[in-house]
Amino acid sequence: MEITTVLGMILGFACIIITILWPGAKLDDYIDVASVFIVVGGVIASTIVAYPMKTLKNLMKVMSAAFKAKNIDLNKDIDMIIDVANVARRESILAIEDSVKAMNDPFFLKGAMLVMDGIDPELVREVMEMELSYIKDRHSSSQAVILQMSSFSPAYGMIGTLVGLINMLGNLTDMDSLGPNMAIALVTTFYGVILANLIFTPIAKKLKMMGDDEILRSELLLEGLLAIQAGENPTLIRERLNAFLPHSKLKKLKDASSGG
C-alpha cells in the first residue's frame, strides 16, 4: 500500500473534522445526503458525458493505483542489466533469454526478443520508443480525466448552493428556517471543494509522479538493452545507466565505492 496517499487523506479529513468540532459545532450540521448526491452524482454524470466508455472503463482501477506502492529500484535494475550483459558477453546474445525472463518486465522482455531476433538496433529503438509513447499517452489520458473531475467538483458544489438558495428565497415567509437552509446550501460547496482538493487533484498528481517513475525505469531498461546489443563492456554500461539515478543515490554509490 502507498502509505503516503492514505496518511495524507486521513490527515486532511482529520484537520477538517477537528476544525469543525473545535468551536463546539456539531458534525451532523455538515452532513447532508442531498448535497452528497448532487456533487458526487453530478461529477460522475459530467465525466460520462465528457469521455468515451473506453476511457472510463478502467478509471477506478487507475485511481486505485495511487493507493498501491510501486517499488521501483533503479539500482537493482542496473545490477540485473549488468548480469544480462555478462551473460551476453560470456556466451551469446541468444543466451540472455532466461536472464531476461527472470526480470519479469514485459517491456524489457519485448525489447529483448527483438534483439535476439537480430533486429537492427535503430529499429529496436524506434519500436520501443513508440511503445513508451503509447504508455505515456495512456497515463496522461487517465490523469486528465481525474483532473477534469477535480474541476467539475466545485462547479457542482456551486450548483447545489444555488439550488439551496433558490429554495430558501422561495420560502422567505418562514424566517426561522433561513439560517438552517443557508447552512445546507453552503455545505454543498464545502463537499465540492473537498472532493477537488483532497481527493481528485492529489490522486492525479500522485499518479503523474508514479507514471514518470515508471517511464524513467523503462527508458533505463531500453538504454541498457541497446548497450547489450551493441556488445558494450558491462562496466561502461553501468556508468551510462548510473546517469538515470538521482544525484543523492549516485553520491552514495560513489562514497560506498571509495570506502571499499
**Torsion region of 159: left, alpha or beta (phi above 0 gives left; psi -120 to 50 gives alpha):** alpha
Q: Is the pLDDT of residue 253 over 70?
A: no
78, 83, 84, 90: CA torsion to nearest 10: 140
How far does Cα 238 stand from its chain's mean position? 29
CA-closest candidate to residue 33, choices 44, 41, 25, 23 = 41
CA-based max dimension of the chain: 91
Q: For 194-225, write each residue's pLDDT tens digit.
A: 999 999 999 999 999 999 999 999 999 999 99
Label residue 176 by pLDDT band (50, 70, 90): low
pLDDT of residue 120: 92
Q: Which three cell numbers stand for residue 137?
A: 499517452
Report the SS3 class of residue 65: helix
Straight-line distance from the first to the last Cα atom of the chain, in angstroms, rounded to the nearest whole number: 36
Residue type, 120: D
State pTM to two decimals. 0.84
Q: Is the pLDDT of residue 173 over 80?
A: no
Q: What is the rounded average pLDDT of the residues 148-163?
A: 93
Contact (CB, 8 A) for 105 and 221:
yes
Of 18-32, 61-75, 81-95, 118-132, which gets the smallest average pLDDT? 18-32
The span from the CA of 172 to the CA of 175, in Å, is: 6
Q: Is the pLDDT of residue 259 over 70?
A: no
Contact (CB, 8 A) for 32 and 172:
no
Residue type, 184: I
CA-closest candidate to residue 214, choices 58, 5, 72 = 72
Q: Is the pLDDT of residue 256 over 60?
A: no
Share of the chain above pLDDT 70, in %: 92
* Mean pLDDT value across the chain: 87
Label residue 122 by pLDDT band (50, 70, 90): very high
The span from the CA of 146 to the CA of 66, in Å, is: 12
Parse the chain into domains and list their residue ranges. 35-260
pLDDT of residue 221: 93
pLDDT of residue 227: 93
Q: Which three cell numbers stand for residue 92?
A: 551469446
Residue 104: what are its φ and ψ, rounded to 5°? 55, 45
One-letter-per-residue 3-state SS of 84-119:
HHHHHHHCCHHHHHHHHHHHCCHHHHHHHHHHHCCC
pLDDT of residue 249: 60
Q: For 99-110, write each residue's pLDDT tens digit.
A: 888 778 889 999
Q: For 52-98, write each residue's pLDDT tens digit.
A: 988 888 888 889 988 887 888 889 999 999 999 999 888 888 888 88
